[in-house]
Structure 1
């Protein structure tokens, strides 16, 4: 087995274990944690008017929608990812946005929604460590999108998850994009840069 295949095998193992732990949370625990997460995100110093991307939760993910409401109430421009030609673009989300069914059991803003360049990104993940490394769902959408945005700016990437998804160490590959911080229901974790 090559070093790269060992890393990918370890990531798959960590992903399975973290998602299994996440799956043990009751609906009530997920709701309470999502509300606690919203309070922590609401306490972050995000400059007024900043464009913030979030995501529509799937399966048993932590729900960023309460945090999104807090950010919208403060005047932030919100956007959600949409898959276009195999890549993520971020389309505006407001009260006029028409959401359409997308892959992976989620929704996204339709093609008429304007594309934004988020300055702050709330990033979904399967597992994370305190160094700012994350394991996604294995398709690389967010790593590619973050890398593209970093070529023209420096988006603040914040992973959001349940604390139960933390692992000791995520194997890191060259294409993996690190997070600036991770917010869970219990903590704001600032990662080394």
Structure 2
């Protein structure tokens, strides 16, 4: 096992524990602050589709922000796992959600497949470069790479708690950096010295 892989394994363990330990009041404040920030963000004007996620475990809950975006007339899509990759399917209030495994649910195969213009991304940890670490399956790295082919101006936004920030996320060539991270205290953008992939 390479050094970077072992560092990622340890970071995932520690990051999940930190995220799990975020107190309920901080969790609620983060959801509220991020929802307000997204609802007021003019960067979503003219956007057709926002991809988001339905939270599992201690992930920051994006659903209030998603509701605010839907109120602005944007279409919402959430990931479904199809043949080991993510496919974004339209989320409609009247459509049933099906178990996807790994604790996730998604609209069924009859839902419209959409290519998001903006993607709200869950994570375990992030750093000042807006590098992220997820659960280790590479779902979002592959999805972002694929979406960028169809949508070169895709905007990727990680949603996290301040407690999830670390000094450095070990990055491999396939790892995707995000355009920004939203937390309860504000917006993080990549530092000027950061290299982007």
Q: State whether residues 47 and 117 of structure 2, in contact with CA within 8 Å, keep that contact through their aligned partners in structure 1.
A: no
Q: How many residues align?
A: 190
Deviations 1:92-111 (A, max 9, x none): 01223221112121211111
Number of the residue aligned with 1:22: 19
SS of the aligned residue for 2:10 comes to helix
Unaligned ranges ≥5, structure 1: none
Scaled by the length of structure 2, the TM-score of the pair is 0.91
Alpha-carbon RMSD: 1.4
Q: Summarize the alignment of residues 62-141 of structure 1 with structure 2, pairs less than 5 Å apart.
A: 62-141=60-139
Deviations 1:50-104 (A, max 9, x none): 2101000001111000100010001111000000111100000122322111212
Q: Summarize the alignment of residues 153-192 of structure 1 with structure 2, pairs less than 5 Å apart.
A: 153-154=151-152, 155-192=154-191
Number of the residue aligned with 1:43: 40
Deviating above 4 A after TM superposition, structure 1's stretches of 4 or more consecutive aligned residues are: none
SS of the aligned residue for 1:102 comes to strand
Give, in angstroms, the shift of residue 32 of structure 1: 2.5
- Paired with 1:50 and 1:12, the residues of 2 have a C-alpha distance of 37
SS of the aligned residue for 1:63 comes to coil
- Paired with 1:40 and 1:115, the residues of 2 have a C-alpha distance of 27
Give, in angstroms, the shift of residue 49 of structure 1: 4.2
Bigger Cα displacement from structure 2, 38-47 vs 136-145: 38-47
Give, in angstroms, the shift of residue 163 of structure 1: 0.9
Scaled by the length of structure 1, the TM-score of the pair is 0.93
Deviations 1:149-184 (A, max 9, x none): 112222111111111000011111110111000001
